Amino acid sequence: MNALLNVRDLHVRYPLGRSFTSFPGSKPSFVDVVHGVSLEINRGETTAIVGESGSGKTTLAMALCGLAPVFGGEVRFDGVRLEPGRNNMLNPDRKRVALMFQDPVGSLNPRMTVRKSLAEPFRIHRADALDPDREALRLLSMVGLGEDFADRYPHQLSGGQARRIGVARALALRPDILIADEPTAGLDVSIQGEVLNLLARLQQEMGLGILIITHNLNIVRHVADQMAIMYLGRFIEQGNSQQIFSQPCHPYTAALLAANPSPDPDAQPKQIELLGDVPSLLQRPPGCEFHTRCPQARPSCSSSFPDATTGPGNQVFNCFFPMG
């Protein structure tokens, strides 16, 4: 089966202001936020990207939607290579790739009613054959909201209701891929379940490929078919979610999973202590970039970056001394 979205060695680079480059011995005048990422997303499957804040997850999502500049690499959508256009941004078919923003209320225009927000995609893409008002009501029904929500403004919505509006707007033009950036952030547990069940139902009905960006590992465990762990703009381990949860290979992956609270009150926590702080993207450590924090690091880790290795569960990782 050919992947719906195929990403190979993607780089996203931003220029730096003069204040970062005017000192003697300063680094190059750019910063690599996404550094050589490869990824596949299939129809009807859910892929999750996890990692600490600042690791480049949202920037990757923005690049795949054509909202962040692409410095290098290749992206193919449904077999067709996407070419960088204006400002070096990818130009995907906007109707086929949709993005749910991290802040559901902030992503809505405060001066527009829900009706107008849901009708806007049809106006922008000139879907003249459709009645935008009727489509807005259909979308509200699709996400389990009544018609009375159509004339509300964003400040009149709860967090869960705003999330549902975000889902409705993202799926208005029936995309093939939905990128959901922290779809459950700030929601009560019960509301989180409602949003995830909604996405699962719509995925089954529409055959969506879903890319979820999240810090919530419990969500990843239950909804993601594949997962990728990101550190300083790189994927350091990726593969089948259940396999990675049961047998992580990279020490960073193991540390993230060990820090995740267990619902079992009798479970004995298995903590893995990480050293120091996350390095700056402006001063990437040499060799394996995780060696400055890794409890298993050895002198050779600082000399070269490890090649990709296939683990016992067919997950791919980059580490000289994987977990036993």
Is residue 157 domain-resident?
Answer: no
- Name residue, tokens 């994927």: 235
Residue 255, pLDDT above cutoff 60:
yes
Q: What is the pLDDT of residues 23-77, one digit of tens each?
A: 555 556 889 999 999 999 999 999 999 998 889 999 999 999 888 999 999 999 9
Residue-level pLDDT at 149:
95
Cα(202)–Cα(204) distance, rounded to whole angstroms? 5
Residue 220, pLDDT above cutoff 70:
yes
How much is the mean pLDDT over the chain?
Answer: 88
pTM, to two decimals: 0.90
Residue 20, pLDDT above cutoff 60:
no
Is residue 51 domain-resident?
Answer: yes
Domain count, the chain: 1
Q: What is the pLDDT of residues 85-120, one digit of tens each?
A: 777 888 777 788 999 998 889 999 999 999 999 999
Is residue 115 domain-resident?
Answer: no
3 state DSSP class of 230 = strand
Is residue 222 domain-resident?
Answer: yes
**CATH number of the domain residue 258 falls in:** 3.40.50.300
- Identify the weakest region by mean pLDDT among 22-31, 131-140, 177-186, 299-308: 22-31
Is residue 13 domain-resident?
Answer: yes
Residue 204's contacts (CB-CB under 8 Å, 6 or more residues apart) are 44
- Contact predicate 96/176, CB 8 Å: yes
Is residue 114 domain-resident?
Answer: no
Cα(246)–Cα(250) distance, rounded to whole angstroms? 12
Boundaries of domain holding 280: 5-96+175-317
Rounded mean pLDDT of 125-145?
Answer: 86
At position 249, the amino acid (one-letter code) is C
3 state DSSP class of 50 = strand
- Identify the weakest region by mean pLDDT among 214-223, 259-268, 291-300: 259-268
- Contact predicate 23/16, CB 8 Å: no
Is residue 183 domain-resident?
Answer: yes
User: Strand pairing of 177-181 and 97-100?
Assistant: parallel
Is residue 108 domain-resident?
Answer: no
Name the band, by pLDDT with cuts 50, 70 and 90, for residue 275: confident
Closest to 165 (Cα-Cα) out of 187, 191, 136: 136
- Contact predicate 243/44, CB 8 Å: no
